């Protein structure tokens, strides 16, 4: 009951502050009590985690007997069972304290449900494509020779693959301005991104911002690369430096596992969210 009231207050404030985007954001943030910040921890307040399917076909998560809500106060619902189980497993895996920074699937679902930045599909696509102009695999170094060769050997095959797969021109450059990417290329990717639903698109943009590369993200989502391969290619220069100067566990490995976890969560999120739409299509045909 308390949570429903919280949700209502969000809606009312949003309507009142329609003019100032920033004011709306603060109103929403003010209502975020259940999760607090990403790095803080909260005592575990439940024993059992279960999932159930509502009347509208969406899946809900229950902690003991209470329904899980989003930080914005909405009922937490996901479109399919696999996603629900992945989220439930995250809640079930928490020991004495809730570590929200380890619950990437929950975070992604919350982002879609609350949409805290009030973006629509076009805005997300534009934000995602911005990474193409400064794509990691398009920027090459001129020295040291070892790294030049490594970048050529590791990045060129992925670049070739995406140019063939989408029939586009991207190219690479040693210049600080990067390669000139033709408008047609951006238009092709824009149309391709438009074919994803809002859930999958949110996940895809998350992967792109993690890997700092549209090329590698498409490679991962189109199943040309595994998560481990995509992360390795994204961190190629760092890996080269590690080989040369040695690995520092609490910095290099720490970053790598975090990046792998986030990227894997994003990729899984895209695949599970797009799967549900194909299942729906099949049901309609019957």
Point out which residues bind other proteins (CB under 8 A): 49-51, 81-82, 85-86, 88-89, 92-93, 99, 102, 104-105, 223-229, 249-250, 253-254, 257-258, 260-261, 264-265, 267-268, 271-272
- Asked if the peptide bond before residue 18 counts as cis, ω within 30 degrees of 0, the response is no
Give min distance, CB of 58 to other proteins, in A: 17
| Closer residue to other proteins, CB minimum distance, 35 or 59 | 59
Contact of 51 with 62, CB cutoff 8 Å: yes
| Closer residue to other proteins, CB minimum distance, 14 or 261 | 261
Give min distance, CB of 67 to other proteins, in A: 16
Give min distance, CB of 272 to other proteins, in A: 7
| Closer residue to other proteins, CB minimum distance, 125 or 267 | 267
User: 2: buried, middle or exposed (CB in 10 Å: 19+, 13-18, 0-12)?
Assistant: exposed
| Closer residue to other proteins, CB minimum distance, 99 or 140 | 99
Contact of 272 with 83, CB cutoff 8 Å: yes
Give min distance, CB of 104 to other proteins, in A: 7
29: phi then psi, degrees, rounded to nearest 5: -60, -35
Give min distance, CB of 113 to other proteins, in A: 20
d(CA 282, CA 279): 5
d(CA 112, CA 52): 20
| Closer residue to other proteins, CB minimum distance, 45 or 250 | 250
d(CA 74, CA 51): 17
């Amino acid at each position: 009951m308390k949570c429903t009231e919280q949700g209502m207050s969000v809606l009312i404030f949003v309507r009142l502050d329609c003019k100032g985007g920033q004011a709306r954001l603060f109103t929403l943030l003010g209502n975020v009590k259940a999760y607090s910040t990403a790095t803080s921890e909260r005592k575990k307040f439940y024993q059992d985690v279960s999932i159930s399917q509502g009347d509208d076909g969406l899946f809900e998560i229950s902690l003991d007997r209470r329904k899980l809500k989003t930080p914005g106060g909405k009922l937490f619902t996901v479109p399919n069972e696999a996603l629900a189980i992945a989220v439930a497993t995250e809640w079930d895996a928490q020991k004495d304290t809730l570590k929200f920074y380890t619950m990437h699937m929950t975070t992604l679902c919350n982002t879609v449900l609350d949409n805290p930045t009030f973006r629509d599909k076009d805005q997300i696509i534009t934000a995602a494509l911005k990474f193409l102009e400064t794509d990691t695999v398009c920027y090459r170094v001129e020295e040291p020779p070892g790294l030049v060769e490594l970048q050529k050997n590791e990045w060129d095959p992925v670049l070739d693959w995406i140019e063939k797969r989408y029939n586009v021109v991207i190219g690479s450059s040693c210049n600080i301005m990067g390669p000139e990417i033709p408008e047609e290329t951006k238009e092709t990717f824009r149309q391709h991104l438009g074919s994803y639903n809002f859930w999958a698109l949110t996940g895809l943009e998350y992967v792109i911002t993690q890997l700092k590369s549209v090329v590698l993200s498409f490679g991962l989502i189109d199943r040309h690369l595994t998560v481990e391969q995509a992360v390795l290619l994204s961190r190629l220069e760092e890996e080269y430096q590690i080989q040369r100067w040695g690995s520092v566990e609490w910095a290099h490995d720490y970053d790598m596992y975090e990046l792998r976890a986030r990227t894997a969560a994003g990729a899984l999120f895209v695949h599970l969210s797009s799967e549900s739409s194909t299942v729906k299509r099949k049901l309609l045909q019957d």
